[in-house]
Structure 1
């Protein structure tokens, strides 16, 4: 059951556009003595920091190789900075984060827009800029500016005290009083984009970095135009009672900014949105000639050890890293087959950046996943689910099989599981599973890409073998010619 969007009717006067408050934020000195306070003392005494957050691909989620997300990465580093462990309360939606911070502390980190006027909380310095963006369903032509929005059914997520993407619409409503939209504090961006793709909404306003992370999962949702002024991502702490915690957070963020690490993290998580982008034939063939020959023997050796097709392993390696042994993902996985440090230890790999070791470890891990699948999954269904598990994790694959069964599908059929996987991005479904939220659209695209690369590898290999055979035949028999010689009509001419 879809969560409702609250309807906003046209109004002559909009609320104050709070995003300009970023310029009013007073930056604290970088290295003053940091006063202690009761909350900071309590955190240090109990040994952990509690953060209220949300499951979202831009914030925090359980990935195929453990917890990940931009704000999770910052929180993990901040807890290390304080010398404590991290405790996440992640079962929040946008409307419930700040009340939880006010009532229970310690900190809110959930895609929050800096709001100096928010009741009962104080915000840190800005972490990154967030630009509102209009997106729309493919087939709606000419969505190029505010004039094109007034007749559309638009959705967005509710902000705090008129901030965020909703604030950009309220500001626009001052000029276009006939503009209306729906908003909710309980949906997530993926659910909003799903409503655009399905036709429940014509358009939506989301933050640009959120769309970049989600765009490949929603092929029928198009980028429109930037709307209004950007806001600032920030963390929230209880107002008044946590000056020491707030100063420590600001010192931590200042240090990350000064060292360049913050910009590096932003680039790692949001600078590249092409991991699942299908590489066309021309680029693939270029890499096939320039890169694959260096690793073909390693793929063949790993295939002999595991009983897998070496071209399948090569296709997985291409999807993971484009056959680049120095590749590193935002979550810290690295190497040609993109192994985590934990997976590398599990399969006995000492150096993930060594291509031979990475290929060997990736092949053995793929075979391990295949052996752990139920025997009821057979044939190509077994292969595709093994590949999906390599991407999203075995636990999330099992959750998708459960969802397929809930929907009266066959949990042993890849076709039915493929339809269920994207539902792991919707609260309605992932709340009913064991492992919770996942970027379920990703393994669907991942498997599809590998199948395409595998077919191209096989085609090229068959073509080369046929050409080689033709050359061999011609060498063995000089009279064998690919064309028949036709004599001239007039031999004496």
Structure 2
């Protein structure tokens, strides 16, 4: 009797387990990865602090991968969390530990990676390119056999898709040699190439195209492969809910338009900081400047800022085009953001007078952020650099300058250390991390050149006016036009 009762109790307990526990288990098992992310309220992006992925720009997060991932997080209605490994290789170990949901770091889909990870739909394509520095008397290689015959140093980032490609090519070209490094980023390798510390760099064309304007003289020799897709990487999971959601997001027309705008913003931008075209400048002096000159003069009267400085800034920003618009939405002669325009009561950024005078007042606010102890003209150069790259990054560069035993209040010293913010061994030791440190240096340099060129053009115009007036005075000694230009041409 006791045994029968025990068996009944056991059977009853089993029924209770089935009725209550199994549905709970099924409910737990049916929760998708996407559902868990939405329930948690955040999605984790594994990326790198680099120019094409994520960095701080004027105090705000930026970068192609960051902007795209932020848009996806907004699409899901969750927050975006960043996971930043210490090296490129650690991206893969981080994903294997499942410490992130997606990895976005300009990752190429390769056969080797597909054996360990999953990929969402591609969003871009790129090739692997051999980059060289133009040197007089030297001819770049035209193909792989030519590269082998030159027997020069070729650098590749370790554990990258480029490393995988080189190993694959070596099967066809056994004498192909290269060196791998995990200590430097692609940008750092380009800098070493620019400084002639190495002979060749192998990197992806997207990275090179986005950075080449900062390294004059670097060019692509040839592609080592056909275009390959770039995509977000995911750790394998028992369901495909997250990957399917990402694919739906990428299929949206709005996402495709976003990707196009991000390409323009981060990769395809022409270099606004490169070598100016004197002929174009002189043409703009003839056609555009006369319509704006009075506004620069008015702005100087209101703010006490040299009108030639304002005109040089305006030319750097927009080439004196009142309808200029950047991929980031700044517009007008002074290329003001909406926030900056609102701060100085500019209601129409495309109105030349409002833009110039408002821009001058905004520059006053910018200059007030620079310590008073820094004298002119360095005070102005610091203000322009801070406006261009962000004050946090400028302060980081001043910290690096001080560490080097130089004067953090001298522009000539700080401008040597701003480019170091592209190097991980330096930017990892300061507060705001990676920055396009070459950009503010060239920004300030170009404005100074424009000021000199503007001064020269104004003097030449004045001399010509005197010359024209002299034509009506038979007693006035005529000027030789060639001599006028030579006398006033500044040493740029």
TM-score bin (small chain): 0.7 to 0.9
> Structure 1 residues 92 and 363 mapped into 2: Cα distance closer, same or farther (>3 Å)?
farther
Q: In the alignment, is the contact (CA less than 8 A) between 1:98 and 1:236 conserved in 2? A: no
Task: Please report how far the alpha carbon of residue 439 of structure 1 lies from its aligned counterpart in structure 2 after TM superposition.
Answer: 0.3
> Structure 1 residues 374 and 264 mapped into 2: Cα distance closer, same or farther (>3 Å)?
closer
* 1:109 to 2:104 alignment: yes
Query: What secondary structure, in the 3-state scheme, does the structure 1 residue paired with 2:377 have?
Result: helix
Question: Which residue pairs with 1:149 in the alignment?
Answer: 147
Q: In the alignment, is the contact (CA less than 8 A) between 2:467 and 2:479 conserved in 1? A: no
Q: In the alignment, is the contact (CA less than 8 A) between 2:85 and 2:94 conserved in 1? A: no
Question: Which residue pairs with 1:335 in the alignment?
Answer: 332
> Structure 1 residues 437 and 265 mapped into 2: Cα distance closer, same or farther (>3 Å)?
closer
Answer with 220-229 or 111-120: which moved more. Answer: 111-120
Question: Which residue pairs with 1:482 in the alignment?
Answer: 478
TM-score (norm 2): 0.84
* 1:385 to 2:360 alignment: no
* 1:265 to 2:262 alignment: yes
Query: Which residue, 248, 252, 257 being the options, matches 1:251?
Result: 248
Query: Which residue, 434, 449, 454 being the options, matches 1:452?
Result: 449
Query: What secondary structure, in the 3-state scheme, does the structure 2 residue paired with 1:379 have?
Result: coil
* 1:46 to 2:40 alignment: yes
What are the equivalent positions in structure 2 for 1:202-351 lying under 5 Å apart? Answer: 202-241=199-238, 243-256=240-253, 260-351=257-348
TM-score (norm 1): 0.83
Task: Please report how far the alpha carbon of residue 40 of structure 1 lies from its aligned counterpart in structure 2 after TM superposition.
Answer: 1.8
Q: In the alignment, is the contact (CA less than 8 A) between 1:302 and 1:310 conserved in 2? A: yes
> Structure 1 residues 448 and 148 mapped into 2: Cα distance closer, same or farther (>3 Å)?
farther
Q: In the alignment, is the contact (CA less than 8 A) between 1:94 and 1:186 conserved in 2? A: no
Q: Hey, what's the Cα distance between the residues in 2 that align with 1:346 and 1:46?
A: 38
Task: Please report how far the alpha carbon of residue 154 of structure 1 lies from its aligned counterpart in structure 2 after TM superposition.
Answer: 0.8
Question: Which residue pairs with 2:129 in the alignment?
Answer: 133
Question: Which residue pairs with 1:491 in the alignment?
Answer: none
What's the C-alpha RMSD, in Å, of the aligned pairs?
2.5
Q: Hey, what's the Cα distance between the residues in 1 that align with 2:430 and 2:322?
A: 36
* 1:62 to 2:60 alignment: no
Q: Hey, what's the Cα distance between the residues in 2 that align with 1:269 and 1:383?
A: 27
What are the equivalent positions in structure 2 for 1:78-93 lying under 5 Å apart? Answer: 78-93=72-87
> Structure 1 residues 72 and 336 mapped into 2: Cα distance closer, same or farther (>3 Å)?
farther
Task: Please report how far the alpha carbon of residue 68 of structure 1 lies from its aligned counterpart in structure 2 after TM superposition.
Answer: 2.0
Question: Which residue pairs with 1:488 in the alignment?
Answer: none
Answer with 436-445 or 266-275: which moved more. Answer: 266-275
Task: Please report how far the alpha carbon of residue 442 of structure 1 lies from its aligned counterpart in structure 2 after TM superposition.
Answer: 0.9
Query: Which residue, 405, 409, 426 being the options, matches 1:429?
Result: 426
Task: Please report how far the alpha carbon of residue 88 of structure 1 lies from its aligned counterpart in structure 2 after TM superposition.
Answer: 2.1
Structure having the higher helix fraction is: 2
Task: Please report how far the alpha carbon of residue 255 of structure 1 lies from its aligned counterpart in structure 2 after TM superposition.
Answer: 1.2
Count of residue pairs brought into register by the alignment: 446
> Structure 1 residues 339 and 263 mapped into 2: Cα distance closer, same or farther (>3 Å)?
same
* 1:187 to 2:181 alignment: no
Q: Hey, what's the Cα distance between the residues in 1 that align with 2:365 and 2:274?
A: 27
Structure with the greater alpha carbon radius of gyration: 2
Question: Which residue pairs with 1:165 in the alignment?
Answer: 162
Query: Which residue, 177, 190, 200 being the options, matches 2:197?
Result: 200
Task: Please report how far the alpha carbon of residue 426 of structure 1 lies from its aligned counterpart in structure 2 after TM superposition.
Answer: 0.4
Q: Hey, what's the Cα distance between the residues in 1 that align with 2:167 and 2:331?
A: 44
Q: In the alignment, is the contact (CA less than 8 A) between 1:154 and 1:181 conserved in 2? A: yes
> Structure 1 residues 37 and 291 mapped into 2: Cα distance closer, same or farther (>3 Å)?
farther
> Structure 1 residues 483 and 60 mapped into 2: Cα distance closer, same or farther (>3 Å)?
closer
> Structure 1 residues 436 and 267 mapped into 2: Cα distance closer, same or farther (>3 Å)?
closer
Question: Which residue pairs with 1:98 in the alignment?
Answer: 92
Q: In the alignment, is the contact (CA less than 8 A) between 1:391 and 1:446 conserved in 2? A: yes
Q: Hey, what's the Cα distance between the residues in 2 that align with 1:297 and 1:84?
A: 51
Query: What secondary structure, in the 3-state scheme, does the structure 2 residue paired with 1:285 have?
Result: helix
Q: Hey, what's the Cα distance between the residues in 2 that align with 1:407 and 1:91?
A: 27
> Structure 1 residues 146 and 367 mapped into 2: Cα distance closer, same or farther (>3 Å)?
same
What are the equivalent positions in structure 2 for 1:394-413 lying under 5 Å apart? Answer: 394-413=391-410
Q: Hey, what's the Cα distance between the residues in 2 that align with 1:332 and 1:94?
A: 32
Question: Which residue pairs with 2:22 in the alignment?
Answer: none
Question: Which residue pairs with 2:368 in the alignment?
Answer: 371
Task: Please report how far the alpha carbon of residue 423 of structure 1 lies from its aligned counterpart in structure 2 after TM superposition.
Answer: 0.2
> Structure 1 residues 410 and 248 mapped into 2: Cα distance closer, same or farther (>3 Å)?
same
Q: Hey, what's the Cα distance between the residues in 2 that align with 1:186 and 1:341?
A: 40
Task: Please report how far the alpha carbon of residue 469 of structure 1 lies from its aligned counterpart in structure 2 after TM superposition.
Answer: 3.3
Specify every segment of 5 or more residues in structure 1 that has no aligned partner in the other structure, as ranges.
Answer: 1-35, 485-493
Task: Please report how far the alpha carbon of residue 468 of structure 1 lies from its aligned counterpart in structure 2 after TM superposition.
Answer: 2.4
> Structure 1 residues 356 and 158 mapped into 2: Cα distance closer, same or farther (>3 Å)?
farther
